Amino acid sequence: MDKIRVTGGVPLNGAIHISGAKNATLPLMIASLLTSDTLTLKNVPNLADVANLARILRNHGVDSALDGKRANGAPQQGDTLHLTARDIVDTTAPYDMVRRMRASFWVLGPLLARCREARVSLPGGCAIGTRPVDLHLEGLKALGAQIELDGGYVVAKAPGGLQGGRVTFPKVSVGATQNVLMAAALAKGEVVIENAAMEPEVSDVATCLTKMGARIEGIGSSTLHIQGVDYLEGAVHTVLPDRIETGTYAMAVAATGGEVMLEGARADLLEAPIGVLREAGVEVDVTNSGIRVARNGAGLAPVDVETEPFPGFPTDLQAQFMALMCKADGSSHIRETIFENRFMHVQELARLGAQIDLEGDTATVHGVKSLRGAEVMATDLRASVSLVIAGLVAEGDTEINRVYHLDRGFEELERKLGDCGAQVERLAA
């Protein structure tokens, strides 16, 4: 199994182009199940999760073709992916597939809407929390779906098609919002989704659905009105830039010092993290080409944060921010409100010399003068990149094991950091 070695102490300087958002790409790919026409997605990141989902969709009859980069080979031009679900050949998503990628559970809504039946395995446990699917199921029931649990599978039927209805989520859920939204596009009548997730990735899916012929009002708000249509057509859609990748590299620059232009980044997707970085003493400038991040000589001030649904501080940047606060001049408090088990990176940061106290859902990070390289293990996608950030500022070498987590969500991380002067090397198993 590959590992990554990071040699710390080098400021980052240069430019990093931000890839398309993984968390938008995956549901957009699943939306291809809603039409027999071709859905073309541009700016698709080259990630393990994308490749895995393409394989899963092929099980349902989705043909996929990848254009790849343009002829000049510029790294900033993402892949173009063509998806065609002319005929759905199988409405079952087996356990062996769903367990590998939780997002594949989202095929439930589109399969049910188009084929009026679906059999999808429950996804099982998750490294960062239980993340139950009850909100998905209750939302689909509100649209008339008949749902039973049988041997670890969700068996859903809608013999007469999904109907209009009102879905009120008791708490914000990105996955449930996307699942019900895609199903509602083909429902008969009007569907109202209340307390919908307002994350940009949800809006990106809704925007793509409208290009396919869906009738959706309230995009970007907590209340979505969908007037169901009989069929959806193909479309061409460009995936929005990845705000989590943007925030991750911004925090890497803030930690190491230096100056980096994050090309193609959109500040409107990151207002809360940008505010936090500025409060910590980091220079963040928004330009026509992206976001410039710099810290030249000044220390880092400790800042308290609490993870929240968008537009609040994202849980997917919590681990990275914790690594940054390890170098702050004082103590900061980080409260995790989204997932109940998302502090597993704390013990690994401690191996590098971090001083972090845990009490319930709050971590108190005491800034230290220096971190020292050590061998550590990634526990999940965002935790893995927090260890990279810590390694970039640690003295000596840090070796990060189980880097397949990184490959799931960060495109060409070693190259992007290396182009800015970082000493990052992948070591083959």
Catalytic member of 126, 208, 326, 420: 126
173 is in an annotated binding site: yes
Residue 126 annotated among the catalytic residues of the structure: yes
Task: Give the residue from 370, 368, 410, 364 showing the smallest Cα distance to 391.
Answer: 370
22 is in an annotated binding site: yes
Pairing mode, strands 331-335 and 362-366: antiparallel
Pairing mode, strands 79-84 and 63-66: antiparallel
416 is in an annotated binding site: no
102 is in an annotated binding site: yes
346 is in an annotated binding site: no
Query: Bridge-partner residues for 286, per DSSP?
Result: 291
Give the span between the Cα atoms of 136 and 211, in whole angstroms.
24
292 is in an annotated binding site: no
388 is in an annotated binding site: no
81 is in an annotated binding site: no
Pairing mode, strands 63-66 and 235-238: unpaired
Pairing mode, strands 375-377 and 397-401: parallel
87 is in an annotated binding site: no
23 is in an annotated binding site: yes
Are 107 and 60 within 8 A, CB to CB?
Answer: yes
Task: Give the residue from 246, 249, 296, 288 showing the smallest Cα distance to 271.
Answer: 246
Give the span between the Cα atoms of 6 and 321, in whole angstroms.
18
Residues of the binding site for UDP-N-acetyl-alpha-D-glucosamine: 102, 131-135, 171-174, 316, 338
Residues belonging to the binding site for phosphoenolpyruvate are 22-23
**Which residues are annotated binding-site positions?**
22-23, 102, 131-135, 171-174, 316, 338
What is the set of active-site residues?
Answer: 126
